[in-house]
Amino acid sequence: MNMIWKKARETAMSKKKKFFISFLIMLMILICVFCIILDFYRFSSLPHDQELFSSYLIKRMIVLLSVVIVFAAGKDSYHPKDYQKMKIIFLVIGLGETAFLLENTISAVLLFFICHFLLILRNGKGLKNKLINADARVKTKLRLSALCIGIISIVLITLFYTCLPLKSNSLPVISYIYLIILSISFWVGLAAYLLNLFPLINAQMIAVGTACFYCCDLLVGIDIFIHSSYAGLLISSAVWVFYTPALLFLALSCYKFTKFC
């Protein structure tokens, strides 16, 4: 009787957690949509090149909710060690966003550099052995993806070097290095899916999450060149269109879905 009661209680807790996580996901999406509307409202307001403070602040709630999703995983996580890694990664993301709020750009970039380095270690678990034993078709896909990502990185580094020549400011150098680690993180995320380094649903979320993270940070970099134009305004308004799913999919990728769903 005690075992039956315990199992029933665990099932009830599982349903409560599922409802709680679903609520957080919906809240993230609603906040994202609201902030995107506020961002695009800037097209009809002056000065159009200034971000609305309310939107700038509310957006960080999305980051906070993604951190809560990760920390709520607990016994429903994919693996205890992976759960610990993801908690550290999302704490670093939270610190990075705090640095951005405090307008300490260099510290923020360094923190996100650490974030992507940790994501590479986490998402690339067992990559070397799986890559050696992968079939020719998978290896070809990985080579082509690495080539495409490499070309994009070279083009952007060239633009940075041309438009932001090195002076006394160390930010351009940090940006070059950050772009390299970002590109590697994106490629490793794709490799995690193509090489089946994680269960299928987790691997798919990792691939989509790292792809969205890559697009988000590229938009942030491109915005530097055309910040005061309407094109720059459009790009900066689209950043969270990619950043929100990046946080959401990566946060959910630490869950054990055979148990959670």
Closest CA to 232 of 219, 243, 242: 219
Position 175, amino acid: S
* pLDDT tops 50 at residue 49: no
Number of domains the chain is built from: 1
Structure tokens at 64: 């906070």
- Select, from the ranges 58-72, 162-176, 221-235, the one with the highest average predicted confidence (pLDDT): 58-72
pLDDT confidence band for 3 (50 / 70 / 90) = very low
Percent of the chain with pLDDT over 90: 44
CA distance 148 to 155: 11
Closest CA to 183 of 152, 222, 161: 152
Q: If phi over 0 gives left and psi between -120 and 50 gives alpha, with beta otherwise, what is residue 166? A: beta
Beta bridge partners of 255: 77
| Residue owning tokens 């690495």 | 146
Q: Are 116 and 182 in contact (CB under 8 A)?
A: yes
Q: Is the dihedral of CA 54, 58, 59, 60 positive or negative?
A: positive
Structure tokens at 250: 């990566």
CA-based angle 58:61:66, to the nearest 5?
150
Give the residue, 45 or 220, on which the prediction is more confident. Answer: 220
pLDDT, tens digit (0-9, with 9 covering 90-100), for 80-99? 999 999 999 999 999 999 98
Give Cα separations from 172 to 24, 123, 159 (angstroms): 37, 27, 11
Structure tokens at 90: 């999302």
Average pLDDT over residues 51-75: 83
Q: How does the average pLDDT of the chain come out, rounded?
A: 82
| Residue owning tokens 């994202």 | 32
CA-atom Rg of the chain in angstroms: 20
Q: Are 229 and 25 in contact (CB under 8 A)?
A: no
* pLDDT tops 50 at residue 25: yes
Backbone phi, then psi, for 45, in 5-degree steps? -125, 160
- What pTM was computed for the model? 0.85
Q: Which domain holds residue 11?
A: 2-260
Give the residue, 4 or 26, on which the prediction is more confident. Answer: 26
Kindly write down the DSSP assignment for every residue of 14-59, as one continuous string: HHHHHHHHHHHHHHHHHHHHHHHHHHHHGGGSSSTTS--HHHHHHH
Q: Is the dihedral of CA 29, 80, 192, 216 positive or negative?
A: positive
Q: How far apart are the first and last CA of the chain?
A: 27
pLDDT, tens digit (0-9, with 9 covering 90-100), for 94-137? 999 998 888 787 888 899 999 999 999 999 988 888 888 888 89
